[in-house]
């Protein structure tokens, strides 16, 4: 039963490739790939910057909240 459920969840036979919507135009595919890379870079660099601020500033009142927000942003990008 579990294997049938996993096959149903991960079945990609009814899906079209992403490039199909872009008419397989290389410029558009590269634009999407570069913008996805920039978004991923932002998702991983913002928590790093928050961690640096959290380590350097000792006067932060809500330091645990800063760490939770950094973890949230990191997990959104993962």
**pLDDT tens-place string over residues 31-77:** 999 999 999 999 999 999 999 999 999 899 999 999 999 999 999 99
Integer Cα distance of 21 and 16 in angstroms: 8
Nearest CA among 65, 45, 63 for reference residue 55:
63
pLDDT band at 14 (very low <50, low <70, confident <90, very high): confident
Instruction: Grade residue 18 by pLDDT with cuts at 50, 70 and 90.
Output: confident
Flag whether the pTM goes above 0.75: no
């Amino acid at each position: 039963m579990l294997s049938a459920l996993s096959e149903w969840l991960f079945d990609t036979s009814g899906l079209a490739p992403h490039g199909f919507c872009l008419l397989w135009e290389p410029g558009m595919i590269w634009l999407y790939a570069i913008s996805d890379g920039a978004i991923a870079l932002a998702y991983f660099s913002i928590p790093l910057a928050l961690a640096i601020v959290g380590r350097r500033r000792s006067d932060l009142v809500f330091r645990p909240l800063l760490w939770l927000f950094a973890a949230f942003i990191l997990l959104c990008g993962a």
